[in-house]
A and B are shown apart, each in its own frame.
Chain A
Amino acid sequence: MRLSGTARLLLVALVTVSTLAACSGSGKTSGGEGGAGGDTAKLTVWSWDGTVKLAVPGFEAANPGIKVEVVNAGSSSEEYKALDNAIQAKSGVPDLAMFEYFAIPYFAIPGKLADIGPMGASAFQSDYVPSAWNNVKFGDRVHALPSDYGPAALFWNSKTFAKAGLTTAPTTWEEYYQAAKKIRTLGKDYYIAQDNGDLFFLLSLIWQAGGRPFRVDGTTVHINFSDEGTARAVAFWQKMLDEGLLNTKINPWTDDWNRALNDGTLASQNMGGWLTSTLPERAPKAAGDFRVALMPQWATGQKVGAENGGSSFGIPAASKNQKAAYKFLEYFTHGAGLQPRVDAGAFVPNVAVLKSPAFQSAKNPYFGGQQTGQVLAEASTTAAVGWQYPPFFEWARSVYSDIATPYFTTGKGSLTEILKTWKGRCVTYGNEQGFRVD
């Protein structure tokens, strides 16, 4: 009895030790492969974009030595936190990670992202719409390749608009304002849109109006919310809020919001082109009602767009498989791996895709058979360039809601005051973090 007990213990110990040895052994091998670089490697890709996986089979077939594992390490801020932690801990850093455009400077400026320009990316400038390329290029370095794009667009519910006697989408903001007033008369719950402090929409409005509140030059950041474009956009949206034309009680991406989109009481959404694939899930009951239009313009006959969201992939400087990682990056954002992703619904800023007849002529049944690709391609190519995000934007957007919420819940204050306070906080934080901010 006692002997067998000891024997059992020994067995367990042996199994444990051998398993551990096997683990450390395999760890070593993969490290060795990484060191060799190039043709044999095991890549870890962090992505919350489900279409990236679709490019893996084709890539692995073409590059037998490279194995790709796509992991969802959380969306947006969750992933950035995880990546920051991994970089600090110097272990578990992925070979490719997904970044919204505004998050690239945060990692790129302190040198946490590899410069992929020399690997071949710098030749791709004309393959992407100008504004998308503007997001990934910093001076003469390229830190990511665009993987999806959010041209700002107007998604409008033609049924609700028709109830208010409107048959076309507003083409100017003045028309939008008039439409908002008409829709408001339909009933207590009817609004043209919601806003309870949507920073990205406000920025896209400023962007389109020509405002460039952030000027970034290396580690120097200028913040100015009083240039002409910013002032115009802010004044217009303030008027919409002051006249009670926007629903300030509904939070986007909540159950509330779904409900209002389904029953048509929220008549439109100013969001990125990515909403095309999200809207059918959110508002199945409104199938056939929505249409996509260009963002309303500041002057009749103009065609100026802006961005609202979009993301890219970059290679962390701490990755040991940069060469192989770049191969895969190029494959799924630019090369042969792009098509399966586009077929699955990814909206990409690659000119070749946007201009292709297949993309332009496809009829979208959810949008009543509208050729939505055509509209979104135009919105993408007309997106104004020259916009920059400060490197601490991830932090800045988290405190923005602190500052904006009191106004949207009590009505005390104004957008101008919010932006002024926000700037103050950004200046203090930025300077503490070693930037020169004014």
Chain B
Amino acid sequence: MSTVVTRHKGRQIGWAFVAPFGVLFAVVFVLPILYAAYLSLFQDRLVGGMSFVGLANYTKLLQDPQFWNGVLRVFGFTLIQVPIMLALALLLALALDSGRLHASKFMRIAIFLPYAVPAIVSTLMWGFMLGVRYGLFRSINESLGTDLNPFQPGTTLISIGVMVTWAFTGYNMLIFYSVLRAVPQELYEAAAIDGAGQFRVAWSIKLPALRGSLGITVIFSIIGTFQIFNEPQILPSMVAGSGITTFYTPNLYAYNLAFTGSQQGYAAALALVMAAITIAIAYAVQLRGLKPAREQ
């Protein structure tokens, strides 16, 4: 064991190692948030310029039906899309890990690839596929004589869900898969000796091993879906009557407030409140989701 003095010295050197990160973290992360908090206390008017309004932006926001409309929309979206996406990712990871697939390397890359496609490109792509005037749905409607339209006000959100699931399933699959690869081979051997079948192995060894990573992916996914922006931003210029409004998601609303309505202070307040809501939900999920894992 070392003496108190050297331990103390060691700590100071530690700070020096952390400094480059610390400075970057402060400049690109903490400062912008503080600046947003500062901005949110002001109102910028086209006539009269900037004025200090205290917490008025926040009280206005809490009574803004358009804001809550967007929040509820992403909340509902998260509630349905995240479980579907994670279940898919889980199944794919288990399938890949089972070693019973042909060309599993190719499959792995193919499933992950959509994650590497920029959201703008993938939105355009899906827009063409799901649009009723061209592409897939036009052919379906023509051959079946139906009148399906994935981009009506009632179904647009589902279409966006399909796009997001397509893009992020591979990413989550990769997290699950890497955890599964780390399960010690001895466990499987022991299970085999005990006479466990594949299903039993998946249930009693693989799924418990995935518990920790499940918590992480749930939190990442919640944060991700709460920030949906690209898809509703691009779709209206591609398809008519999709029902996407300027306040469709909170992020889109913040963007339109700041850049079309020049209400930067109000947009900053929205961003902070949204961040608080997201953190609260992610934290609640973490508390609930990780507790059993810790108790084990």
Contact = CB atoms under 8 A, between A and B. Distances in A.
A427 B87 CA distance: 48
A227 interface: no
Interface stretch (A46-54, A154-162, A251-259): A251-259
B69 to A, nearest CB: 11
**4 A-B pairs with the lowest CB-CB distances in the bound complex, closest first:** A434-B47, A251-B240, A434-B45, A256-B133
B259 A109 contact: no
Nearest to B45: A434
Given A77-B260, A398-B246, A249 B47 contact: no
B260 A398 contact: yes
B46 interface: yes
A433 B45 contact: yes
Q: Chain A: interface residue count, which band?
A: 20 to 34
B238 A254 contact: yes
Given A402-B245, A409-B153, A392 B133 contact: no
B85 to A, nearest CB: 28
Contacts of A248: 241
Given A395-B262, A405-B241, 10 more contacts: A77-B260, A84-B262, A110-B46, A248-B241, A251-B240, A256-B133, A405-B153, A406-B243, A409-B241, A409-B243
A364 interface: no
A109 B46 contact: yes
7 contacts: A196-B240, A395-B262, A401-B236, A410-B153, A429-B261, A432-B43, A435-B46
Interface string A227-247: 000000000000000000000
Interface of B: 43, 45-48, 133-134, 152-153, 236, 238-241, 243, 245-247, 256, 259-263
Contacts of A256: 133-134, 240
A250 interface: yes
- Taking each of B236, B241, B261, which has the highest tally of chain A beta carbons within 10 Å of its own beta carbon? B241
A399 B246 CA distance: 7
A181 B70 CA distance: 41
Given A398-B256, A409-B153, A196 B134 contact: no
A106 B46 CA distance: 8
Nearest to A248: B241
A222 interface: no
- Taking each of B243, B245, B260, which has the highest tally of chain A beta carbons within 10 Å of its own beta carbon? B260
Nearest to B66: A402
B52 to A, nearest CB: 15
B264 to A, nearest CB: 9
Contacts of B47: 109-110, 219, 433-435
Contacts of B46: 106, 109-110, 391-392, 433-435
A394 interface: yes
Contacts of A163: none
A405 B45 CA distance: 28
A332 interface: no
Nearest to A403: B245
A285 interface: no
Given A106-B46, A110-B46, A219-B47, A249 B241 contact: yes
Given A110-B46, A399-B246, A409-B152, A249 B260 contact: no
Nearest to A247: B240
A408 B256 contact: no
Nearest to B244: A405
B133 A405 contact: no
A154 B37 CA distance: 52
A392 B260 CA distance: 9
Interface string A360-397: 00000000000000000000000000000001101100
A394 B45 contact: no
A5 B236 CA distance: 55
Contacts of A249: 240-241
